[in-house]
Amino acid sequence: MSGADGWDADLLREGLVAHGFTDDGVRLRGPVPWRRAGAETWTRVEIEVDERFPFHPPHVRLLDPGAQLEVTFHVDRAARPGASGNLCLWDDVWSADRAPWTAPDALLSRIAGWLEQTAAGWPGDNVCDLERYLEADLTTFVLYDAESLARLKGHFVRTRRGPTDGTVEIWNTPHRLKKRAGRPGFSRTDRQLAWVEDLGRIRRPVRSWADIHDALGERAASVKRLIAAGSVNLVLLRYQRGDQQSVLALTVKYAADEIKVRACESADTSSQTRQMRAGTMAPQLADVPIAIVGCGAIGSFTAALLFRAGARRLTLIDHERLRPGNVVRHLAGLEQVGAWKSAAVRNCLAAIDPAIDGVRDLTTAMTSADEAKLLVQDHRIVVDATGSARATSMLAFAANTTNADAGKAVVTVCAQRDGDVVRVDRLPARGAEPLLPPLPAVDDQTELRENGCGSPVSRTPPTAVVAAAELACCVVLDEVAGHCELPTSVAFVSRPQPEQPFDHIGLVLPGPLPQDEVVK
């Protein structure tokens, strides 16, 4: 059996045979030496190499531990009762060209290390993957708030249908069972319940209802009774491994005088989890007041990127409505056509994270320099995404006449030449920083016009819109962090232009200052 070019499963098989393994053409069986309490011991394993080799490691199963060994973590659920599950020896970070399982010595060494870790109880391990030790329920996805769940230990809670098919949401308050006067059984309100328990620091996985029964203690009988009655269909178990905490969500069903337990995928909806992927600057951005003037194509994506990065004090300003023709380049979809653009963007942000109390949407037009100055004074950064020379000149005037020590900045972003060039300028300049030269507009005799819209339609494609928004966000983040690494002007050229320095593809920065103008 041959794998990808350069890897031959036959070579692995031959190497294992040389180590004392037998080979029946499908599975190899043989000894693996390892050390326990300083003494050498031997374990017999079964190794199976399938057609996915070398992109997937061989399956390895224990045949005879050779010593008293409690198999706990890092082993898959057995395919059938009484069988041994595959040992979990490697994660997914290995590429085939570096895969150590292609060499017999490396494979046997890894198995020996797994045995030694198992015998020692996996010290320092913090992998929270209890789902892998149980049969999977692939139809249910449970949503819970970890912060609330921590207060619900030993309680029944109500559940409800989630936002999509198959999702179930956990209520954040305990549910009190109601006894029916003069009749046995449970009230109609005692339906679709979940039981929440805290296992604390676990030493072995949960593999059956018997393990849960032991953890529930004196509460086990009442929980089992409600499961048998069909009132409880979920059990949520909080647990800790190492310094990590997690939740195991289980669907439970009573049948043939026993409770069948299956693990389902679950996810935390708390604000902390929603912000985990926002980036390292999220805490710093959260309290920075930022205004975005112009919530069209570029402005809408700039708002989304900043919001996703952690900005929570945003002022969105635009006096136009969202039109059907806008949608191809806009953050909002057809369902918001007719809404004010600023409101449509705020609605999109709410779909990313409902914590939008600090996001304001205004449907006003900036008509004077005084209004521009007030906007700059009230915000740490003003992003000008208007595409309007008049608005840009007013905001530039406001930026350059504001006290330099106030730490304010106006970041102007635009796409030019049908999106072939995207550009960002930050004002006021620091010292004598130069700006990139202007790129003159090119007369277009075949302007696109949309019915009912007075302004010509730009041919800038969506890719250039997103590129411009990304560049603007980079400048904003540099300004907020105080890195001062980006110059006053920065542009990206996707198609060379006749004018220098825009005559080559790539990032374009201003030239160096003359030596006598360098700020000391």
How does DSSP assign 133-168, residue by residue? GS-EEEEEEEEE-HHHHTT-TTEEEEEEE-SSTTEE
Choose the final residue of a domain: 68, 93, 119. 119
- Same domain flag for 386 and 434: yes
φ, ψ of residue 439 to 5 degrees: the values are: -110, 105
What single string gives the DSSP state of each residue in 237-282?
Answer: EEEEETTEEEEEEEEEEEETTEEEEEEEEEEE-SHHHHTTTS-TTH
- Same domain flag for 479 and 376: yes
Report the alpha-carbon distance of residue 467 to residue 506 in Å, rounded.
12
pTM over 0.75: yes
- Same domain flag for 365 and 489: yes
Report the alpha-carbon distance of residue 447 to residue 459 in Å, rounded.
9
Choose the final residue of a domain: 251, 273, 295. 273
- Same domain flag for 243 and 307: no
Residue 213 belongs to some domain of the structure: yes
Quote the tokens at residue 115. 């045995």
Whichever domain contains 59, its CATH number is: 3.10.110.10
Residue 124 belongs to some domain of the structure: no
Quote the tokens at residue 334. 């057809």
Report the alpha-carbon distance of residue 325 to residue 384 in Å, rounded.
22
Give the amino acid at 404: A
- Same domain flag for 292 and 415: yes
- Same domain flag for 334 and 474: yes
Number of domains the chain is built from: 3
Confidence at residue 454, expressed as pLDDT on a 0 to 100 scale: 61
Choose the final residue of a domain: 119, 147, 167. 119
Cis preceding-peptide flag for 461 (omega within 30 of 0): no
- Same domain flag for 80 and 172: no
Residue 115 belongs to some domain of the structure: yes
Confidence at residue 91, expressed as pLDDT on a 0 to 100 scale: 85
- Same domain flag for 90 and 229: no
Confidence at residue 458, expressed as pLDDT on a 0 to 100 scale: 82
Strand bridging mode 59-64 / 155-161: unpaired
**Neighbour-count burial of 414, counting CB atoms closer than 10 A to its CB (0-12 exposed, 13-18 middle, 19+ buried):** buried
Residue 145 belongs to some domain of the structure: yes
**Neighbour-count burial of 360, counting CB atoms closer than 10 A to its CB (0-12 exposed, 13-18 middle, 19+ buried):** middle
Confidence at residue 7, expressed as pLDDT on a 0 to 100 scale: 63
Confidence at residue 186, expressed as pLDDT on a 0 to 100 scale: 57
Residue 367 belongs to some domain of the structure: yes
Residues 22-50 have pLDDT tens digits of 999 999 999 999 999 889 999 999 999 99
Residue 125 belongs to some domain of the structure: no
Residues 53-76 have pLDDT tens digits of 999 999 999 999 888 899 999 999
Residues of the chain with pLDDT under 50: 1-6, 181-184, 513-520
Confidence at residue 1, expressed as pLDDT on a 0 to 100 scale: 45
Helix (H, G, I), strand (E, B) or coil at 452: coil
- Same domain flag for 357 and 306: yes
Q: Which has the closest alpha carbon to 364: 342, 380, 344?
A: 342
Whichever domain contains 150, its CATH number is: 3.40.140
- Same domain flag for 342 and 491: yes
Range of the domain at 139: 130-273
Whichever domain contains 330, its CATH number is: 3.40.50.720
Put residue 294 in one of left, alpha, beta given phi > 0 → left and psi -120 to 50 → alpha: left
Residue 2 belongs to some domain of the structure: no
- Same domain flag for 139 and 101: no
Confidence at residue 499, expressed as pLDDT on a 0 to 100 scale: 95
Confidence at residue 195, expressed as pLDDT on a 0 to 100 scale: 94
Whole-number average pLDDT of the chain: 90
Strand bridging mode 421-427 / 409-416: antiparallel
φ, ψ of residue 173 to 5 degrees: the values are: -130, 150
Confidence at residue 335, expressed as pLDDT on a 0 to 100 scale: 97
- Same domain flag for 160 and 225: yes
Residue 81 belongs to some domain of the structure: yes
Q: Which has the closest alpha carbon to 236: 155, 317, 314?
A: 155
